[in-house]
Amino acid sequence: MAKKKYNRIQKKRLFSIRWCGPCLRVAPKIEEWSGGDFKHNVVFLKCDVDQAEAVSQEYNIEAMPTFVFFKDGKEVHRIVGANVDQLKADIESKSK
């Protein structure tokens, strides 16, 4: 039963690099949202592309930051860039 519930939860994966300015600017918002507004229905995962090149290649990451949205194990949306307002709006619309 727990697995089914987990699969319905929207998952977001952030692909970034430690030295990426836009990544550093958006990171505090992601931290805030993961413990606040979206803590019950969204799981945020972070992937440093310098540390996990194979993963970034698997998801065809070409720019940072890239946010990949998954639902029930399938990619449903993707955002490139650090527009916090657009990101929050997309998370709200895709997590329903």
List active site positions: 20, 23
Distance CA 18, CA 42 (A): 23
